[in-house]
Amino acid sequence: MSDHLAEIGQRIETVRQLGAVVNAMQGIAAQRAHQARALLPAVRRYAETARTAIGQARRLDEPLARFPARAVGGARGGLILFGAEQGFAGAFPEQLLDGAAADMQDRHILLIGARTATLAAERGLRIAWSASMPSKADALPALATSIIDALYDYLDETGAVPITMAYPVWSSGKGVSIVRASLLPLDLDTFPASTADLPPLVNINAADLIGDLTVEYVFAQICAAAVETFVAENEARLRTMATARSHIDRKGEALRLEERLTRQDQITSEVVELSGGRHRRE
């Protein structure tokens, strides 16, 4: 009986330690999600500023601003896919691959997230380029720069092929959803031309200006997708850890109940044994 009681005590301690780990992971995930969310307003303002500037630049040379979006040689182009960096996030890593499966056919895939890259390799998917998601939110702009570099290296080889992007967005109540966005080439008709009385003052031609602003806008879009992914992964992990915490609490309570019952049985057995010994002496 005492051995069994000791075993229960060890199991309770193991569950307690596991709970401490889960609590720590919850805290880290919550902090990271909060830090990333704080970046979103600035990233969105940056993208909107670039978008407004492109609209203003369209006034400089309207025929140029209407150049057609086209693909070279019939290529299907590239896909920037944002995924999970780590595990312990439930089905989140698999959801991203499943949700983007149709988008990955015959594409040059640039994948971000080590965990999703591992799952993609297990599925036999060919990844042209991959990168890890940083552990800190303030490193996301540097990641976006790396993605831009890899993207333009690819475009230097292929020419003006279409580039799309797929990334997860977290919403309370709905969880993760996959967002798909066309990145390049820009459809300038979706950038409303400025209605200001005077055109902007510039010292470069319209083609170069729109080209430079396009780079800024694409960078902002990629940066926003990286931030959204960072938030989504940590929110998914937070939910997974909350579920694990509930299971641990229930398991701990069950073990403590078993411990109390076992100790009670042990005390009862000892009382019965002592009572039997006294009766024999009498």
Higher pLDDT, 71 or 113: 113
Asked if 2 contacts 246 with a C-beta cutoff of 8 angstroms, the reply is no
pLDDT of residue 230: 94
CA pseudo-torsion sign 149, 153, 154, 156:
positive
Element (H, E) at 158: helix 140-158
pLDDT digit string, tens, across residues 176-210:
888 898 888 887 777 776 666 666 667 777 778 88
**Cβ 47 vs Cβ 191: under 8 Å:** no
Strand partners, 111: 81, 130
Q: What is the mean pLDDT of the chain?
A: 83
Global pTM reads 0.81
pLDDT at 101 over 70: yes
Mean pLDDT across the stretch 272-281? 62
The residue to which tokens 């182009």 are assigned: 77
Q: Which residues contact 83 (CB under 8 A, 6 or more apart)?
A: 93, 96, 97, 111, 112, 113, 115, 116, 117, 120, 133, 229
Q: Which of 142, 73, 153, 91 is nearest to 112 (CA)?
A: 142
Q: How far apart are CA 196 and CA 59, in angstroms?
A: 10
DSSP SS3 for 178: strand
Coil, strand, or helix at residue 49? Answer: helix
**Cβ contact 251:180 at 8 Å:** no
The sign of the dihedral angle between the CA atoms of 256, 257, 262, 265 is positive
**267 vs 178, residue with greater confidence:** 178
Confidence of residue 69 (pLDDT cuts 50, 70, 90): very low
- Does residue 217 carry a pLDDT above 70? yes
Q: Is the pLDDT of residue 40 over 70?
A: yes
Band of residue 3 on the pLDDT scale cut at 50, 70, 90: confident
Q: Residue 168's pLDDT is what?
A: 92
7-22: per-residue pLDDT in tens?
888 888 888 888 888 8
pLDDT at residue 65 is higher than 50: no
Q: What is the dihedral of CA 93, 30, 222, 90, to 10 degrees?
A: 10
